[in-house]
């Protein structure tokens, strides 16, 4: 009995020592944000139409002061299917984090039981008989057994803690990807809405020019019938009229396609789009006179795709430690306890729960992959190469984000200048057409002058409408590039109530269907959080 107690104390001391030491050793590199090249200010920062102060981008689409657009964005946030997929990905990542966290606890915890009928081979000697006079026999018997088995690999080298870090960063990356989807969604809704209003305006312009050209055709026909001009004027008028009429089906097709694309974003069939945007054409949403754009450094915190790239790198960094831990011995505590009986001889299956039929074992174990160092070392190298690639991806994402903002800013500002010239051109073309029609009626000029003026007017008015839409579209691009719009999900669930109800009926999700809303960390915080398991 003293020997048994002594061995028990040794096992207990080994376990306590391993648990205390496990918190100190953690192989693998800690994640550090790589250096990035960020401009101090935007290239167009000197323009008076831009303000570089801090701004709120939560509901940036409200700067257009269009209630229909506000309603469309709200509908898309609640009904868009791609956003729902991104929300479910967050739940999946949260469940993966629970799996990783559970590895800190005993990895094997099993209750076992069996009642097989066994038959020993007649060609194998019965255990316990002598070698000189072995006995053989095909013994057949029943055996019953119940027991408990447990195995706990101590996280001596931090393998499981690194796995938790990786899963935690992956979950935060899933949240950032959800936010990125939301940013793209709000911008796409605004862009398609602006495109619809722009196409409606261009269609109205084309139809108005058709009416004007029909009047010119009547004048040419009247003068031809009066013998004051030739049939060539009539044919030229028909040519220009038909050419303008041919643009209408193209614009109608583009308008229908834009509405259909908007329906997909809103999660509704095309038949319901009229109720959302109204049947009567409205004006093109106009941008405000000044736009708040902040400074480039704010992109690191606000743009969700930058956060997602960094979290992906952090998750991969932790995988280096997970693989490197395989180079070292794994220390475990094994234990099993059971009750075993058979019907051999005077025994009976019913005596299984007799205390004398107990069996068990407990003690430490070590496992070391001493002959697999080449494979493990190269696996560490693979993980490190992937990590380095993700670091470069993060740096490239930061640069691309700055380019995205700069491109949309210059388009927003220069298109406004273009509009001023196009307005002058359209006004001049309208005056030119009026004078040409008067002079043609009076016989001062030929009909070619009228036709040229009509074509110039249509071109100028159509270009002006397109440019007005491009101004608003470029501003949408600015807000998208700045990473605005994802903030509307703060305090909200990642999946709608109907989806949550369906998933709860199908599977026990515990509290994972309503995870806490996670705001982006400040730039100096490293994404490493340790949470309890979700079971």
Considering only residues 165 and 4, tell me which one the structure prediction assigns the higher pLDDT.
165
Q: How confident is the model at residue 248 (pLDDT cuts 50, 70, 90)?
A: very high
Reading the block at residue 205, the tokens are: 């312009």
Cβ atoms of 457 and 408 within 8 Å: the answer is: no
pTM to 2 decimal places: 0.86
Lowest mean pLDDT among 106-110, 169-173, 284-288, 380-384: 106-110
| Residue 381: per-residue pLDDT | 95
Q: Compute the CA torsion angle 134, 139, 145, 149 (nearest 10 deg).
A: 40
Length of the chain: 535
* Residue 344 covered by a domain: no
* Residue 184 covered by a domain: yes
Q: Give all strands (DSSP E) within 214-283, no chain letters.
A: none
The residue range of the domain holding 419 is: 44-107+156-208+268-327+377-506
CATH code, domain with 98: 1.20.1600.10
What is the per-residue pLDDT across 65-108, written as a single tens digit (0 to 9) for each?
999 999 999 999 999 999 999 999 999 999 999 889 888 888 88
Cβ atoms of 158 and 28 within 8 Å: the answer is: yes
* Residue 294 covered by a domain: yes
* Residue 439 covered by a domain: yes
* Residue 495 covered by a domain: yes
Best-predicted range by mean pLDDT (138-142, 177-181, 236-240, 374-378):
177-181
* Residue 35 covered by a domain: no
* Residue 20 covered by a domain: no
Mean pLDDT (the chain, rounded): 85
Give me the number of domains the chain comprises. 1
For the residues of 460-512, what is the DSSP string, one character each?
HHHHHHHHHHHHHHHHHHHHHHTT-SGGGGTTS-SS-HHHHHHHHHHS--TTT
115-123 contacts, C-beta under 8 A, 24 or more apart: 115/142, 115/143, 115/144, 115/145, 115/349, 116/142, 116/143, 117/141, 117/142, 117/143, 118/142, 118/143
Average pLDDT over residues 137-142: 74
Place of tokens 């495109």: 195
What is the per-residue pLDDT across 31-74, written as a single tens digit (0 to 9) for each?
999 988 888 888 888 888 888 887 778 899 999 999 999 999 99
* Residue 244 covered by a domain: no
What is the per-residue pLDDT across 296-352, written as a single tens digit (0 to 9) for each?
888 888 899 999 999 999 999 999 999 999 999 989 888 888 888 887 777 777 777
Cβ atoms of 338 and 365 within 8 Å: the answer is: no
């Amino acid at each position: 009995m003293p020997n048994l107690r002594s061995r028990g104390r040794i096992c207990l001391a080994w376990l306590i020592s391993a648990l205390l030491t496990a918190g100190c050793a953690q192989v693998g590199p800690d994640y550090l944000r790589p250096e990035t090249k960020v401009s101090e200010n935007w290239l167009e920062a000197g323009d008076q139409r831009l303000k570089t102060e801090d701004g709120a981008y939560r509901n940036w689409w409200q700067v257009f002061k269009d209630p229909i657009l506000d309603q469309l964005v709200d509908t898309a946030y609640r009904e868009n299917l791609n956003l729902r997929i991104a929300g479910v990905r967050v739940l999946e990542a949260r469940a993966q984090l629970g799996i990783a966290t559970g590895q800190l606890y005993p990895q094997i915890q099993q209750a076992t039981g069996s009642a097989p009928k066994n038959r020993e081979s007649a060609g194998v000697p019965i255990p316990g008989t002598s070698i000189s006079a072995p006995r053989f026999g095909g013994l057949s018997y029943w055996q019953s057994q119940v027991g408990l088995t447990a195995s706990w690999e101590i996280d001596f080298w931090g393998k499981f803690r690194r796995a938790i870090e990786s899963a935690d960063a992956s979950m935060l990356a899933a949240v950032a990807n959800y936010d990125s989807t939301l940013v793209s969604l709000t911008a796409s809704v605004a862009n398609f809405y602006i495109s619809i209003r722009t196409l409606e305006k261009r269609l109205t312009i084309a139809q108005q020019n058709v009416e004007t050209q029909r009047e010119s055709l009547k004048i040419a026909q009247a003068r031809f019938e009066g013998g004051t001009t030739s049939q060539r004027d009539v044919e030229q008028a028909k040519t220009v009229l038909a050419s303008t009429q041919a643009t209408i089906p193209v614009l109608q097709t583009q308008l229908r396609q834009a509405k259909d694309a908007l329906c997909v974003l809103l999660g509704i069939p095309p038949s319901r789009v009229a109720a959302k945007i109204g049947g009567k054409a409205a004006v093109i949403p106009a941008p405000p006179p000044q736009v708040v754009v902040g400074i480039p450094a704010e992109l690191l915190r606000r743009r969700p795709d930058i956060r997602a790239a960094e979290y992906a790198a952090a998750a991969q960094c932790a995988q280096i430690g997970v693989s490197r831990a395989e180079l070292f011995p794994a220390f475990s505590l094994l234990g099993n306890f059971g009750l075993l009986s058979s019907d051999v001889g005077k025994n009976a299956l019913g005596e299984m729960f007799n205390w004398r039929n107990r069996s068990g074992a407990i003690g430490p174990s070590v496992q070391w992959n001493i002959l697999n160092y080449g494979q493990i070392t190269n696996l560490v190298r693979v993980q490190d190469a992937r990590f380095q690639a993700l670091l470069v991806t993060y740096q490239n994402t930061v640069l691309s984000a700055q380019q995205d903002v700069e491109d949309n800013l210059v388009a927003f500002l220069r298109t406004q200048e273009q509009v001023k010239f196009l307005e002058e051109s359209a006004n001049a073309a309208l005056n030119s057409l009026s004078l040409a029609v008067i002079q043609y009626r009076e016989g001062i000029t030929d009909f070619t002058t009228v036709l040229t003026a009509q074509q110039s007017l249509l071109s100028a008015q159509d270009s002006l409408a397109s440019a007005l839409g491009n101004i608003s579209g470029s501003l949408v691009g600015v807000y998208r590039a700045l990473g605005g719009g994802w903030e509307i999900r703060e305090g909200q669930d990642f999946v709608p109530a109907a989806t949550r109800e369906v998933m709860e009926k199908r599977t026990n999700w515990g509290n994972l269907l309503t995870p806490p809303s996670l705001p982006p960390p400040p730039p100096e915080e490293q994404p490493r959080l340790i949470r309890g398991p979700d079971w």
